[in-house]
Structure 1
């Protein structure tokens, strides 16, 4: 081989190595983080979050990735606790995560969201219910896909006021009991937290049994609902009271069983039948894919986590970068249609404004007739997101009042 040919070969090899390096760099994964309750009283909701995040990640990668790069999902157990969630944010950020999703309690979401802001990462919570998450403690890096307690209570108040006027309510929240209440008391009750002391609500249930209330409202979450419903059954309260669980989830019915939950009324932002009602082909494809993969119907927790990842990825695509400030700008005020009807990320507080439904758990015999034995909810009432969500003025007033 001549000297000239040798030089040309070296140049060719060098160019090839540069090409290979560039391709390798382009294929470097984009890391996203999932901080979720793999253990603790919210572990069932955590399992749903993991499945929703995995489905979104796998779909995006099957579509060719994001900005020409695959997504890599890294996860850590928060157990629903704020201190663990804070550590998770740091650990995931150190692994290179450019966004984080997950969390099942408001304290967890608030703490993790604050830490995510320090690390410059958008944080999406699918399940935190306290109004303060997007009002008092809201900031530019924190997004809530799921509904607030006020959204759930607004749709329930309208339904209960029309269907059960002048009824006496006994309301049990995470930290209080409100006897002799009326339907408008749900506004005040919505300000409660979402972590309860079992001793408190067990004592409150005994007081409810001794009252003359006609409607029992359990503003509880996760396994606390299951525990409370066992006591309701023991005290035979369903024989003389309508039971309402404002934030009623698929996971709660799975844990407690349809016999225990039969007839319970609550609200939800999405069920596996929602795409049918909305004639949403993409939503129906999501349901079909989930059933095929897991042999179960997806819940609103699955849909909210899936939607959070897909919406973040969509914002990255529109912004052509994973840079957090640019992604946040792309999300603020963005309206879209994914698994249901129209939704919007409100710019003021990053609350996902979406429609809400009042649902009731079907009779066990009806549930058992379904192929998967998980067709739990019948829809009783529907409300537009703009009506269900607190107004921007209400959010500003709450922020001003707590400064």
Structure 2
């Protein structure tokens, strides 16, 4: 009997201890001195130019918000991890941030790692907003996954409409990176919408990641003499294709999606003629004269001594979107925060947005034209 009561007492003390531990954990979370925001991006590796630009925008917004009193009476604490442009690294980074106690995630930057991380965040219910992941299926992972940028198909469709309405194109050719979901997704949407618009797709040529010589494909395209050449890829490949297209005598108007942003930095001034007159879809223009845009540009230049790309602006907007959602929800509870993001009517540097039923933003597309090595504003197009 004595042994029985001793065991019972031990179990009772264990239960009490467990209850106290849970209470302490809950109290610790509720009384945290900061609001923990996780961020993931490629700060090193082949797409670091995008990751650095994006996360610079994130850091600028965090600093501004904290300087103005923070959110819900607390400072924002940013934990930014480098995923090196690699999906496995992105997943590892996410798990570290989850263990750290993030209440919301900003990222990832490029589409493939974003898809992988979104699947995890959906399972955990962590509100996740990618500033720049354009692949269509990202937000299909769960109701708590959002994006601030427009999707790959959306910009492909808009640029096909632009080719018809603004350039009066009757024929188009497409160069597509068969190794890239981004390139393939935009290309398919562009081709389908071009056909819907009555534009004939006279050629489509493919290549792979790492290719440097595109002259064979471009020579075939040149023989068709299309009104427009559509090149949906990132800046490094884009610049090579544009230069070689002019070398083989292709005189078509060149169009592209947002991956062209930053291309001028990769082209020597002696080759500016190759990208002269290129039109590409983007999320905002540094030529926008609105006070909100110009204040952002001024502050960004002061901190980073560089002009902010669209990736910078989208990430900057993402932080402020999450801030407004927290203030509306009055809490950092993940379910309440997700609901507040879903219901947002947000106005930022990259324009005004609401979210559709698939958590994609409803917003316009800014078309940029390259003139003398400068990104000039051309128009804003809606689908």
Change in Cα spacing, 1:359 to 1:117, as seen in structure 2 (3 Å) is same
Q: Is residue 359–residue 377 contact of structure 1 (8 Å, CA) maintained in 2?
A: yes
What SS does the aligned partner of 1:312 have? helix
Q: CA deviation at 1:341?
A: 4.0
Q: CA deviation at 1:360?
A: 0.8
Cα distance in structure 1, aligned partners of 2:350 and 2:134: 20
Q: Is residue 41–residue 109 contact of structure 2 (8 Å, CA) maintained in 1?
A: yes
Change in Cα spacing, 1:222 to 1:142, as seen in structure 2 (3 Å) is farther
Change in Cα spacing, 1:100 to 1:252, as seen in structure 2 (3 Å) is farther
Q: Is residue 122–residue 141 contact of structure 2 (8 Å, CA) maintained in 1?
A: no
Q: Is residue 284–residue 351 contact of structure 2 (8 Å, CA) maintained in 1?
A: no
What SS does the aligned partner of 2:257 have? strand
What SS does the aligned partner of 1:165 have? coil
Does 1:42 find its partner at 2:47? yes
Cα distance in structure 1, aligned partners of 2:41 and 2:309: 16
Partner of 1:153 in structure 2? Answer: 156
Partner of 2:4 in structure 1? Answer: none
Cα distance in structure 2, aligned partners of 1:210 and 1:24: 66
Q: Is residue 122–residue 142 contact of structure 1 (8 Å, CA) maintained in 2?
A: yes
Q: Is residue 315–residue 327 contact of structure 1 (8 Å, CA) maintained in 2?
A: yes
Q: Which of the numbers 136, 142, 145 marks the counterpart of 1:142?
A: 145
Partner of 2:326 in structure 1? Answer: 316
Q: CA deviation at 1:351?
A: 0.9
Partner of 2:210 in structure 1? Answer: 198
Partner of 1:269 in structure 2? Answer: 283
Q: Is residue 262–residue 362 contact of structure 1 (8 Å, CA) maintained in 2?
A: yes
Change in Cα spacing, 1:222 to 1:324, as seen in structure 2 (3 Å) is farther
Deviations 1:209-243 (A, max 9, x none): 44432321111124332343343354353xx2211
Deviations 1:1-45 (A, max 9, x none): xxxxxxxxxxxxxxxxxxxxx999856222211110112332111
Q: Is residue 169–residue 183 contact of structure 1 (8 Å, CA) maintained in 2?
A: no
Q: Which of the numbers 263, 269, 272 marks the counterpart of 1:252?
A: 263
Q: CA deviation at 1:81?
A: 2.6
Q: How does 1:218-233 map to 2 (within 5 A)?
A: 218-233=231-246
Q: CA RMSD in A?
A: 3.1
Cα distance in structure 1, aligned partners of 2:208 and 2:61: 32
Which consecutive residues of structure 2, in runs of 5 or more, have no partner in the other structure? Answer: 1-26, 179-183, 202-206
Q: Which of the numbers 223, 229, 245 marks the counterpart of 1:216?
A: 229
Deviations 1:169-202 (A, max 9, x none): 1112222799xx7961599x9xxxxx95234983
Cα distance in structure 1, aligned partners of 2:169 and 2:262: 32
Deviations 1:112-144 (A, max 9, x none): 11111223312211222222323xx34212111
| Count of residue correspondences | 338
Q: Provide the TM-score with structure 1 as the length reference.
A: 0.75
Cα distance in structure 1, aligned partners of 2:71 and 2:137: 33
Change in Cα spacing, 1:233 to 1:75, as seen in structure 2 (3 Å) is farther
Q: Which of the numbers 346, 352, 357 marks the counterpart of 1:342?
A: 352
Cα distance in structure 2, aligned partners of 1:200 and 1:160: 27
Partner of 1:380 in structure 2? Answer: 378
Q: How does 1:165-180 map to 2 (within 5 A)?
A: 165-175=168-178
Q: CA deviation at 1:256?
A: 3.0
Q: Which is worse superposed, 150-159 or 324-333?
A: 150-159
Change in Cα spacing, 1:182 to 1:114, as seen in structure 2 (3 Å) is closer
